[in-house]
Structure 1
């Protein structure tokens, strides 16, 4: 996916707590909690980070304008102005997400690890990869994972026309629906670059935008120990972890999941994958 070409720009987009759903210098972020999307202060390190959070049904409530309901849907999807980058749940809840797949070699390995520890995750798939690996999408769905839309060819959406953005999203949603039996409820912009058209078209297709809190930078292959250290040091209630299961050699990513997952489970964390919202 040639992510190294956008390394500098990507770092600027996700630096600090005020990006991708954060609300300026106050250190808040868009959060799903108690059936509502709210602004909440980011947890700090120390005792506060381990406090139990209120239970959540992972529902979204109106906060913005609506897009038309997708084909066959009973309700309309909200047009957001920023992506969700945190969730809130009971106790030490975290979300694991994997981008760019599915890959016929690395994705099955990750699925085996998740199955071993009975953990659910979110997979944001690219249509080009999904179209030739539909069996893996079916396996994800059967295991209880959430399959999200990461566009067809992983382009920079801010450089595309509205019709091109729609094509990228729509073609991928069609593949996901064909393989999993339902259209995706979540999408993620490549490189973390969003614009108004992406939010609007995503809503029109029945999808909510999901970003991340912890970027492992695993795509740059910094070493398994570094990936593990990043996740363990930044682990906190509500965080969304970004990793990749395709787009290059992801052996470090697989080994990192295999290493940190049992450690975090032993530390009292549990993992959720927000499914289709109820509005």
Structure 2
């Protein structure tokens, strides 16, 4: 499986890049970790109905369970990144274990979507120069965030919405989880309010305005 998957090319820039110029308009990237989960299809429906794009950092184990959902994310123009296979604390692992976490997930995502991710997000945001260097070997950029909702802890749709609106800023990257049902429940109101405030909801690559992501570089 791994050898076949590595034959895929890296994910191309989404079409959104050609239609939205974040240098001219107010952009914001909503990002979702740990999926695809049971509630991801409902989230995709909301994003599709509202004309919004997002970035999903996928866990390899979840891609194995729901490859069709991962495929749908990519087909609908969302950006897809690597979030490791088993969601470990990467800084606690040996080099070969980190590489296996990333390689396996690259292969699974490529098999599901036809595209190898160019981005990864370290679980829990736990990273260091060693981890970043190993990600560079896999041609991956590291994507962190400008604000986190702590939705996994809040578990309340109204509080999650309030957190997103508080964290929203131009060129911001907000961390959420599509595995938290209350986050998905809150999304229609979140997206509509952000649009009222003038935000264009874009993928992380679109937010970078053609200047990234570059392998071995840590962003946000």
What is the TM-score of this pair, normalised by structure 1? 0.65
Give CA-to-partner distance per residue, 1:133-182, whole Å, 9 cap, x none. 10001100110001100000000001000000000111000001111111
Indicate the residue corresponding to 1:189 in structure 2: 122
Partners of 2:29 and 2:54 within 8 A in 1: yes
Indicate the residue corresponding to 2:32 in structure 1: 98
Indicate the residue corresponding to 2:17 in structure 1: none
Partners of 1:232 and 1:260 within 8 A in 2: yes
Aligned pair partner of 2:142 in 198, 202, 209: 209
Give CA-to-partner distance per residue, 1:38-76, whole Å, 9 cap, x none. xxxxxxxxxxxxxxxxxxxxxxxxxxxxxxxxx66999x
Indicate the residue corresponding to 1:263 in structure 2: 193
For the pair shown, the structure with the greater C-alpha radius of gyration is: 1
Which runs of no fewer than 5 residues in structure 2 stay unpaired? Answer: 1-5, 11-21, 215-220
CA distance in 1, matches of 2:213, 2:185: 35
Aligned pair partner of 1:107 in 20, 36, 40: 40
Which runs of no fewer than 5 residues in structure 1 stay unpaired? Answer: 1-70, 76-87
Indicate the residue corresponding to 2:164 in structure 1: 231
Partners of 2:9 and 2:116 within 8 A in 1: no
RMSD over equivalenced CA pairs, Å? 2.0
Q: How does 1:1-279 map to 2 (within 5 A)?
A: 89-103=23-37, 105-246=38-179, 250-275=180-205, 277=212
Return the offset for 1:252: 0.9
Return the offset for 1:221: 3.1
Number of residues of Structure 1 aligned to a counterpart in Structure 2: 193
CA distance in 2, matches of 1:72, 1:108: 28
Indicate the residue corresponding to 1:44 in structure 2: none
CA distance in 1, matches of 2:7, 2:129: 24
CA distance in 2, matches of 1:131, 1:73: 18
Partners of 1:89 and 1:238 within 8 A in 2: no
Return the offset for 1:259: 1.3
Return the offset for 1:91: 2.1
CA distance in 2, matches of 1:174, 1:218: 29
Moved over 4 A (4+): 71-75, 276-279
What is the TM-score of this pair, normalised by structure 2? 0.82
Partners of 2:59 and 2:84 within 8 A in 1: yes
Partners of 1:150 and 1:190 within 8 A in 2: yes
Q: 1:221 to 1:134 in 2, by over 3 A?
A: same
Give CA-to-partner distance per residue, 1:71-120, whole Å, 9 cap, x none. 66999xxxxxxxxxxxx6432100010000001x2111110110111111
Indicate the residue corresponding to 1:57 in structure 2: none
